Amino acid sequence: MLEGILTGLDTVFTLQNILFLMTGCFAGTFIGMLPGLGPMSAIALMIPIASTLEPSAGIIMMAAVYYGAIFGGSTSSILINAPGVASTVATSFDGYPLAQQGKAGKALAIAAVASFSGGLIAALMLMVAAPFLAGISLSFQSTDYFALITLGLVCVAAFAGSSTMPKALLMTVVGLMLSTVGTDQIQGVPRFTLGVIDLIDGISFLLLVMATFALSEALLQILKKSDAKINNGPANLGSMKVSKQEAIDIAPPIIRSSVLGFFIGLLPGAGATIASFLSYGTEQQLAGKAKGKLFGHGSLRGLAAPEAANNAAATGSFVPLLALGIPGSGTTAILLGALIAYGVQPGPLLYINHPEVFWGVIISMWLGNVVLLVINLPLIPYIARLLTIPSQFLLPLILFFSLIGVYFISFNSFDIQLMVLFAASAVVLRLLAFPMAPMILGFILGGMIEENLRRALLIYDNNWSFLWERPLTFSILVIAAMVLLWPLLRTYLLKRAQESAR
């Protein structure tokens, strides 16, 4: 491992990579602060620029954009009670009351320190967990990968909650369907190309991500009639100082939430949002009656816990991505797409073939968190001022960056037209409350699941028995089935309990 860490240090500590890392952190913070634009849009918007870089520099920058966006999201939660992303909703519970009490500076400082600690602790755990899991996964076969991908897809839908589960599952299938467009990998026959030459290579993942996230988000804001005035937040942030007593008070919640966040981040589909809410609830329970009552009214613990947890979960979600090559969330799915575009296949072999990418990303997270704390925190008041760009200028600019970002890669104006089609469909579906993240995950994993299933069938002589004869595959599939059936079963049991109570 020491050798790996040295490789990582060697990769990260070049002037060029540090610059890209800082650019990523800054851009991520800024985009994450814009209402509605979360980490997924932030990464998608940066891919065109990252794609001009070499793989390790590009992926370091995109990882920086990721945690920068989470950090930026918490800033807008605290200052203007407008969480840019779901994972920072819990931050606004106590962060915004603090800002209203004139303690915005302190709230920002605590959020930054908590994110920093969460990121740092989780990066440490990542350093141990990823190579360990990569080592184990070397013995995985296509059949196990097929089962793992199925589990990942099912989890994302299941964690969406029982009422949205059918919709999330349907969107996953739509994503899988879109992934089959283009020339079939093994037989070489065109599928669903409708005779259009531009579709022979399939739909580009960047195009789909950009259309369904950045573009559709901007279009949704254009669609909303009320030109709501953007709340600029408090003019005076107040002192950023945190007293010694306060630091001692928030340290245990930060450590607990970081560990919790990391493990939740490992689970496919769970991610930063669930981690932040869970840690908030846990800390409220642990705080005791007197301090627990403060939660929701400006409790420092209530601010620190979800901040540490969401950043730790973001780091944790890199474990399945780096070690197995299977993303557990929409955001890591986009990163996977970007890596594949570089010709770098994440998974156990990444650890062997591209140690500089593997370790570079891990080490860069340490440095990235320092950058966020030391450089971004003092800059927050100035970045917040950028939020005052009037929306009539901002929205067309977001549209332009999304369109040109895709055009840059292909230089094909057909892509712009396809994007408009997808974006319009995404707007309609989002208005009807259909989730987009499961579709992206389905799209990215679609090719992998088909390839692994075909390979498995080849190995097992077209016999489907591997599904139940190979213990590992069978166990993973059983877990997937349980994850899928549990929300349905729970709803059914609750209903019966209610009926019998009547």
Partner 1 sequence: MKPLLTHNRIGGFLLLIFCLTYAALSQRIPSIEAVQSTTMPSGMDAASMPFFLSILGILLSLWVIFDRAPTKNTQPAKDLNWWRFIMFLALMLGYGWGIRPLGFLLSTSLFLLIGFRILGEKRITLLVAVSCTIALAFWLLMSQLLGVHLEPLPSILRLLDA
Residues making contact with partner 1 (CB under 8 A): 49, 52, 162-163, 166-167, 169-170, 173-174, 176-177, 180, 184, 186-189, 191-192, 194, 219, 222-227, 390-393, 395-397, 399-400, 403-404, 407-408, 413-417, 419-420, 423-424, 427-429, 431-434, 450, 453-454, 457-458, 462, 464, 491
- Please say whether the beta carbons of 201 and 400 come within 8 A: no
26 versus 263: smaller Cβ distance to partner 1: 26
Q: 3-state class of 255 per DSSP? A: helix
Cβ 362 vs Cβ 124: under 8 Å: no
CA distance 416 to 410: 10
Q: Are 347 and 137 contacting, i.e. CB atoms less than 8 angstroms apart? A: yes
- In angstroms, give the least distance from the CB of 271 to partner 1: 22
Residue 15 or 248: the one with the smaller Cβ distance to partner 1 is: 15
CA distance 306 to 282: 10
Select 22 or 429, whichever has its Cβ closest to partner 1: 429
CB nearer partner 1, residue 135 or residue 390: 390
**Nearest Cα to Cα of residue 84 among 36, 127, 14:** 36
| Shortest reach from residue 442's CB to partner 1, in Å | 10
Q: How far is the CB of 407 from partner 1 (least distance, A)?
A: 7
Least Å distance, CB 397 to partner 1, is: 7
DSSP 8-class letter at 389: S
Task: Compute, in degrees rounded to 10, the torsion defined by CA atoms 127, 133, 134, 139.
Answer: 160
Return the number of the residue (2 or 15) whose C-beta is nearest partner 1: 15
Q: CB 470: neighbour CB atoms within 10 A?
A: 18
Residues near 469 by Cβ (< 8 Å), separated by ≥ 6? none
**Cα dihedral across residues 456, 457, 461, 467: positive or negative:** positive
Closest distance to partner 1 from the beta carbon of 218 (Å): 9
**C-beta pairs of 289-296 under 8 Å, 24+ apart in sequence:** 295/93, 295/94, 296/93, 296/94, 296/97
Largest CA distance in the chain: 70
Structure tokens at 479: 């877990």
Task: Give min distance, CB of 363 to partner 1, in A.
Answer: 25
Give SS3 for 440.
helix
Residue 308 Cβ vs partner 1, minimum distance, rounded to whole Å: 31
Cβ closer to partner 1: 28 or 405?
405
In the complex with partner 1, the residue whose CB is nearer, 407 or 474, is: 407
CA 409, 415, 416, 419 torsion-angle sign? negative
Fill in the amino acid letter for 362. Answer: I
| Token pair 């589909």 in the structure block, residue | 269
Alpha helices in 138-214 (DSSP H): 142-158, 165-179, 205-209
For the CB of residue 392, give the shortest distance to partner 1 in the complex, in Å: 4
- Minimum separation from the CB atom of position 123 to partner 1 (A): 29
Beta bridge partners of 182: 191
Between 10 and 184, CB nearer to partner 1: 184
Closest CA to 412 of 171, 271, 203: 203
Q: Least distance (Å) from partner 1 to the CB of residue 390? A: 8
Whole-number minimum distance, CB 233 to partner 1, in Å?
A: 23
Query: Can you read off the two tokens belonging to residue 287?
Result: 């705080």
Closer residue to partner 1, CB minimum distance, 177 or 255: 177
Three-state DSSP state, 190: strand
User: For partner 1, which is the closer residue by CB, 245 or 392?
Assistant: 392
Nearer to partner 1, 117 or 172 (CB): 172
